[in-house]
A = this chain, B = another copy of it.
Amino acid sequence: MAKKYKKIVGNMLIAQSGGPTVVINQSLIGAVMEARKHKQIQKIFGALHGIKGILGEDLIDLGRESLETLKAVAATPSSALGSVRKKPTKEDCQKIFEKLQKYNVRYFFYIGGNDSAETAHIINEEAKEADYELHCFHIPKTVDNDLRENDHTPGFASSAKFVAQAFMGDDLDNAALPGVKINVIMGRHAGFLTAASALARTYPGAGPHLIYLPERAFDVTQFAAQVQAQYKKYGRCVVAVSEGIVDAAGTPIAAAYTKEVDSHGNVQLSGTGILGDFLVGLIKQKTDISRVRADTFGYLQRSFPGVVSENDAKEAFAVGREAVKCAVGADIDGSIAIRRKKGAKYQVYFERVPLCNVAKETRHMPDNFIAKNGCDVTKAFLNYAAPIVGKLPKIGRFKRVKAKK
């Protein structure tokens, strides 16, 4: 258990990090609105572009924003404070800590994924070492749904909804003009978002007919044969592929075709159509199917306004609020995890967990979510994902009674 502290009076600083989501501002505003209720929090600083804004003292006064603005920002996609992918060095963290002291920051909140949890963890350790009372919290966010300790993470459900809706439409497009259609979905190491494509199946024979996840080795020869088999069965084939698919040796399929890496050492997977085009080439080479297309859903998955899961928006707001509640209570540090209550009805609760439990490492799709053939999901996954994602559009189809002359 973390050491218990008194309610120290001081300023708050909040920042956003990593890839944006459509609900990351809900978490920001959830925290800010909760903070406004507590006297021990004096000024509320927003750092622009994460730790970069702290290092450069590029701070804005969130106490000066109207309630109307806060509400409008909450409902707006992408990080309103700006974001960053920079991973702080040991010296960076020391400098960040100096800045926090300079601005008398006693309440620090960092919204992001596991890389961001790690950053918060390092800064927190600095503060501990210096015996400086810093209430330091990570607020979860990631469309990849790959944070440990969490049943699911804010941002995932809305992106999953986008992916599911996109597949609903694209499957009907493919049914109208048959062929092979490959859609490349975000998710570097975890297949949750790609798996969500399965929610699009609302009638017998609906796509996606094949789903490839980073959790299972991708075999190019098998891939062509599997597509061929589905094409033979349905006269068409819709495929969901994670951008992060790897071969048996664990090498990303996309890696040979792109070189760009960020400062976390991650290969660039989004913002390019190269994996999809490579897979199209494979199918054309190894089968006699002529109409083969690929789309890479890209950044739309994490930024499209108007396609938001209601649960996701509420929960994203709640984790921000809960982080502040914990911080102004007796807790010194942690991350807010979303847990699911047992029972038929979908309900969640929130729990503070140690920063190091969430930092750095990635949660993967559990085995019981992945079909035995390695290219589909199970009913267990659908039961898991459907209530989080919520309502999807209805699809109407003709009975198609054959006409008589």
Contact = CB atoms under 8 A, between A and B. Distances in A.
Interface of A: 16, 19-20, 22, 25, 43, 45-46, 48-49, 59-62, 64-65, 69, 71-85, 102-103, 165-166, 168-170, 172-173, 175-177, 181, 268, 270-274, 276-277, 280, 293-300, 302-307, 393-405
A273 B296 CA distance: 8
Given A299-B293, A300-B166, A398 B274 contact: no
Contacts of A273: 272-274, 276-277, 294-296
A298 B299 contact: no
Contact of A299 (B75, B175, B181): B181
A398 B77 contact: no
A252 B388 CA distance: 44
A141 to B, nearest CB: 12
A237 B279 CA distance: 30
Contact of A173 (B20, B81, B169, B396): B20
Contacts of A400: 48, 60
Given A270-B293, A271-B295, A293-B270, A172 B398 contact: no
Given A19-B177, A59-B403, A272-B273, A295 B293 contact: no
A306 B277 CA distance: 28
A96 to B, nearest CB: 16
A220 to B, nearest CB: 19
Contacts of A398: 46, 60, 62, 65, 69, 73, 80-81
A306 to B, nearest CB: 5
A221 to B, nearest CB: 23
Given A293-B272, A296-B296, A80 B396 contact: yes
A273 B49 CA distance: 29
A78 B393 CA distance: 14
A245 B300 CA distance: 22
A318 B276 CA distance: 39
Nearest to A280: B272
A173 to B, nearest CB: 4
A404 B61 contact: yes
A71 B396 contact: yes
22 contacts: A20-B176, A46-B398, A60-B402, A61-B401, A61-B402, A65-B398, A65-B399, A77-B172, A78-B176, A82-B177, A103-B403, A168-B305, A169-B304, A271-B280, A272-B294, A273-B273, A273-B277, A293-B298, A295-B296, A305-B393, A306-B307, A306-B393
